[in-house]
Structure 1
Amino acid sequence: MRDVSRAGRPLGAYAGLITTYNSLFALFLIAMRLSGRRLPASVATQDVLLIGAATQQLSRLVTRDKITTVVRAPFTVVEREADEPGELEEVAVGHGWRRAVGELLTCPYCITAWIASLLACGLATAPRETRLVTGIFASVAVSDFLNHLYRASIGLADRLQADTSAAPVVTPIGHQAGHQDGPEARGAQAPGLRAA
């Protein structure tokens, strides 16, 4: 297919990626049928949660992690350090297939279908091994979430301390300098009362 782009988008390469994804998944289903192995009738809720958490973590690992930039390097260029620790902001470069693959490898939302499908295929063919892998990355996802909570709590505590330090000290009116409060002051201020 000839590459036809709109606003710089490689639509032909996008179509190629869609075709590749669907073809690979269809080949997997055909191979399962020819081998005589049956697909699971349903997916347990526990497996859905494991695959979901692992997919989220793997998508960040593939598209953002500093270490995996070696995989993305032929298709992307680094723009800056990301706000999250250990992550990079990258953009796709080039044209056609190179650009389309680069966009896939820099978009954590775009690549989730590929990762989730791979894990689901693993669950159908090697459930024990797949549950081990998904359990590992799901645990990493939980750890990252707790680290985010910890960082947020530290930041909140620092802001509260700074606000408390910057708050003006309010002195009650009755305790202002030069203001008397007590029986003598009330007696001196009451009309008709004179000192003997």
Structure 2
Amino acid sequence: MTRPQAALRRERAAYEPDGEQPIGGYLAATAAYLGGVGTLAVLARRTGRALPAPGPWDVALTAGAVHRLSRLIAKDPVTSPLRLPFTRFRGASGPAELAEDVRGTGTRKAVGELITCPFCTGLWVATALTAGQVLAPAPTRLLCAGLSALTAADFLHFARVAAQQAVGDDG
């Protein structure tokens, strides 16, 4: 074992002696993310795309889209086949959302953690939508509008259920 390898192992053991955290998987995910961002930046530059100057409405529209798409990926029953290799089904966790446990070790566990966490997935979704706003602004804006409308509709569903429960109506 080389000196750098030994030093890395000591630091890893000092960080987390049990070794349950998939540090190598996290490094792979970080490398994939940074590689993707770098590729998108090169693509934008080579195609001569100008960077947009998003206003508050664009940020709100994108935030609604990121919220909905990240929850769709991480929690929706319909997307559970995408999570199946990395998770174990536990049951429902809320309206139209599943509870799943991450399974596996190493990169498999790291991917499972990424795709079952809407906060973690949100970074990737926000990056993809931001790249879309540079590379394909009109379709991306339409997608963001649709997903934001769905986000607003979700909140209206919750408000209606709360109002019905407050007055004792089941329908």
Aligned residue in 2 for 1:143:
153
Residue among 52, 57, 60 paired with 1:46? 57
For 1:84-99, list aligned pairs within 5 A: 84-99=94-109
Matches of 2:48 and 2:163 in 1, distance apart?
54
Shift >4 Å, 4+ stretches: 1-5
Aligned residue in 1 for 2:40:
28
> 2:74, 2:118 within 8 Å by CA — same for their partners in 1?
yes
Residue among 22, 25, 34 paired with 1:13? 25
The secondary structure found in structure 2 opposite 1:88 is strand
Q: 1:37 Cα shift? A: 2.4
Aligned residue in 2 for 1:68:
79
Query: Which sections of structure 2, spanning at least 5 residues, go unmatched?
Result: none
Aligned residue in 1 for 2:66:
55
Matches of 2:97 and 2:64 in 1, distance apart?
18
Which whole-Å deviations, capped at 9, do the CAs of 1:41-61 have from their partners, x for residues lacking one? x21222111110010001110
Matches of 1:142 and 1:28 in 2, distance apart?
30
Q: 1:158 Cα shift? A: 2.5
Bigger radius of gyration, 1 or 2? 1
Letter in 2 for 1:37: R
Percent identical across equivalent pairs? 33
Matches of 1:139 and 1:38 in 2, distance apart?
27
Larger proportion of helix: 2
The structure with higher relative contact order (CA 8 Å, sep 6+) is: 2
After TM superposition, the score normalised by the length of structure 2 is 0.85
After TM superposition, the score normalised by the length of structure 1 is 0.75
